[in-house]
């Protein structure tokens, strides 16, 4: 199978499985798991934050971050299409009584600072308390510019907001900019990182922040059911990924660029390509036919009027050439 639906479909490699098999473990709820502790220390070091916390999923990591930043009746300002507004089942509102204040992102994936300023509520009992700005990097594959991160951080200092980055794919941003992670994370208070996307682990996310913040977050993690026991088996995959699968994200970006070029050459309407994502517009009604055609050739796409193709460590250039060949045959057969 060649699976371009998402970078979450990656399978643990044999070397990663070997690292998991030989992991030292302990009970992480007691703080006893040396491999979890090593992963959290490594995440803190890489992001230049004082502490980090290992969680099962990115959704839980974002939820725990929101619960730790905001009290009941507080609000967070967030993108209309951001994962932690749109795609997390309303968790912050349902479980935290935290009000989202969504705003539209600009085409480059940033939330315009004047638009944020316009929705910050005055200190008045009519209003929820504006507490937090949440940004997503990368957003639909788009890398937020460094200058924007710097300005947004300064802006939040002026307006007494905390700044959280949903960095599910923040390593894609760092690799694309060719900077170390902390060049990005110095412009936020807290961030989440997914290990289970392009980094290729089966499970796991990280939340990074100050010691005090992570102490709060640890209680929320327990409360939301994320305190795991011999989790070192999973953390070992994360440590392996941080060592071996970060620099190679550049291959995914190069492959996405190549795929976009090749699809253009056969007449596909390629809209955009950023980091490891290619977005194409399909003519009316073509999406189900294309999906079925490709599935017959063992290629998985999640098609729609705008179809997102995602490159990752389980698709190489040769696999993408196969995709282009079958796509071209499909177009010829129309």
Ligand X SMILES: *Cc1c(COP(=O)(O)O)cnc(C)c1O
149-154 long-range Cβ contacts below 8 angstroms, 24+ apart: 149/184, 149/187, 149/188, 150/187, 151/113, 152/110, 152/111, 152/113, 152/187, 153/187, 153/188
Please, are residues 307 and 301 in contact by the beta-carbon 8 Å criterion?
yes
Pick the closer one to ligand X by CB: 66 or 290: 66
User: How buried is 277 (Cβ within 10 angstroms: 0-12 exposed, 13-18 middle, 19+ buried)?
Assistant: buried
Stretch that binds ligand X, among 55-63, 100-108, 154-162, 322-330 (CB under 6 A): 55-63
> Contacts with ligand X in 254-313 (CB under 6 A)?
none
Pick the closer one to ligand X by CB: 75 or 136: 136
> Contacts with ligand X in 117-176 (CB under 6 A)?
136, 166, 168
Minimum CB distance to ligand X, residue 61 (Å): 7
Pick the closer one to ligand X by CB: 49 or 83: 83
Taking residue 74's Cβ as centre, other Cβ atoms within 10 Å add up to 18
Residue 307 has, within 13 A of its CA and on its CB side, a CA count of 24
Minimum CB distance to ligand X, residue 142 (Å): 11
> Contacts with ligand X in 74-93 (CB under 6 A)?
83
Minimum CB distance to ligand X, residue 22 (Å): 25
Rounded Cα distance between 282 and 324, Å, is: 15
Pick the closer one to ligand X by CB: 40 or 136: 136
Kindly tell me which residue out of 20, 194, 207, 259 binds ligand X, with binding defined by CB under 6 A.
Answer: 194
> Contacts with ligand X in 201-220 (CB under 6 A)?
205
Pick the closer one to ligand X by CB: 20 or 168: 168
The DSSP code for 202 is S
């Amino acid at each position: 199978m060649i699976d371009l639906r998402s970078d979450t479909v990656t399978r643990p490699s044999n070397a990663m499985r070997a690292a998991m098999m030989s992991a030292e473990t302990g009970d992480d709820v007691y703080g006893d798991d040396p491999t979890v502790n090593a992963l959290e220390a490594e995440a803190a070091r890489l992001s230049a934050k004082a502490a980090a916390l290992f969680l099962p999923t990115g959704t839980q990591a974002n939820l725990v971050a929101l619960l730790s930043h905001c009290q009941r009746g507080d609000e967070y300002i967030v993108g209309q299409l951001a994962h932690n507004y749109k795609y997390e089942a309303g968790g912050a509102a349902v479980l935290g009584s935290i009000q989202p204040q969504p705003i539209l992102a600009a085409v480059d994936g940033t939330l315009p600072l004047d638009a944020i300023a316009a929705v910050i509520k005055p200190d008045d009992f009519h209003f929820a308390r504006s507490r937090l700005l949440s940004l997503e990097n990368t957003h639909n594959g788009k890398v937020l510019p460094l200058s924007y991160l710097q300005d947004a951080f300064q802006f939040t200092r002026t307006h007494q907001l905390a700044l959280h980055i949903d960095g599910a794919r923040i390593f894609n941003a760092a690799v694309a900019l060719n900077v170390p992670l902390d060049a990005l994370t110095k412009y936020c208070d807290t961030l989440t990182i997914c290990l289970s996307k392009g980094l290729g682990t089966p499970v796991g996310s990280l939340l990074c922040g100050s010691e005090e913040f992570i102490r709060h977050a640890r209680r929320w993690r327990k409360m939301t059911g994320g305190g795991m026991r011999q989790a070192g088996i999973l953390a070992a995959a994360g440590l392996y990924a941080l060592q071996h699968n970060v620099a190679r994200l550049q291959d995914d970006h190069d492959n996405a660029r190549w795929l976009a070029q090749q699809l253009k050459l056969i007449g596909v309407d390629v809209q955009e390509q950023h980091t490891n994502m290619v977005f194409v517009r399909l003519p009316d009604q073509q999406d189900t036919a294309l999906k079925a055609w490709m599935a017959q050739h063992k290629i998985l796409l999640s098609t729609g009027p705008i179809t997102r193709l995602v490159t990752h460590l389980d698709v190489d250039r040769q696999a993408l050439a196969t995709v282009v060949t079958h796509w071209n045959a499909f177009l010829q057969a129309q």
